[in-house]
Amino acid sequence: GIQVEQSPPDLILQEGANSTLRCNFSDSVNNLQWFHQNPWGQLINLFYIPSGTKQNGRLSATTVATERYSLLYISSSQTTDSGVYFCAVEERAGGFKTIFGAGTRLFVKA
Amino acid sequence: EAQVTQNPRYLITVTGKKLTVTCSQNMNHEYMSWYRQDPGLGLRQIYYSMNVEVTDKGDVPEGYKVSRKEKRNFPLILESPSPNQTSLYFCASTPLLAGGENEQFFGPGTRLTVL
């Protein structure tokens, strides 16, 4: 089945810094989503982005489907950005199975 | 309010005692899914359903059962729970829109401990 790798696994930032999180996937996908899991465990949709670029406030994402990767940009980070960021893909060949990456754990220091 | 609900939110049980975790969505979504989350492993899909009476295995289905008798409900059944099923469980739902944005929406999670 498809493999999804996220990097870096852990990231510590000073408040106000920018960061880029990466998601690589090993095969063609039907769709790709980015999620934020806050410290209380809640999963929050950030982007549905099978291809192209989207922006929402300080966050933006780009997926280059032909090269099998997606990037999540966080600008001017805030302490409330702390948590775990996951990308998830839906396999194109495997019906409607969804595969998650292991996540990037972000801690933003005040 | 559009939402996915799960019950219970927390459960401590003993090995072998059958349990059911309920999941319900009010968005008329066709697709529903169960995941478990374990430290360092991200979320792994247990089962999914593309519509009423249509279910299929995800990556880690062993030890679990599901049913989809109504569009809004997708319960997860552990017939004989074991300690290795101690985990955080999430239910999700998605519309199946041809050419549309088929985002997954997640419930709040159920933390299960099997002693």
CA distance B77 to B63: 9
Q: Which two tokens stand for residue B52?
A: 């009423």
Residue A95 has pLDDT above 70, yes or no: no
* Nearest-Cα residue of chain B relative to residue A95: B56
pLDDT band at A97 (very low <50, low <70, confident <90, very high): confident
Q: What are the average pLDDT values for consecutive 10-residue runs of chain B, which has 115 residues?
A: 94 97 95 93 92 93 97 97 97 82 90 97
Q: Residue B11's closest CA among B78, B99, B74? A: B78
Asked whether the beta carbons of residue A100 and residue B104 sit closer than 8 angstroms, the reply is no
Kindly report, residue by residue over A24-72, the tens digit of the pLDDT.
999 888 889 999 999 899 999 999 999 999 999 999 999 999 999 999 9
- Cβ-nearest to B41 among A1, A43, A102: A102
Q: Which residues of B touch A42 (CB under 8 A)?
A: 106, 108-109
Report yes or no: B32 and B47 within 8 Å, Cβ to Cβ. Answer: no
Q: How far apart are CA A39 and CA A8, in angstroms?
A: 19
Residue whose C-alpha is closest to residue A65's, from A55, A51, A49, A53: A51
Distance from CA of B93 to the nearest CA of A (A): 12
Strands A69-74 and B105-106: unpaired
One-letter amino acid identity for A29?
V
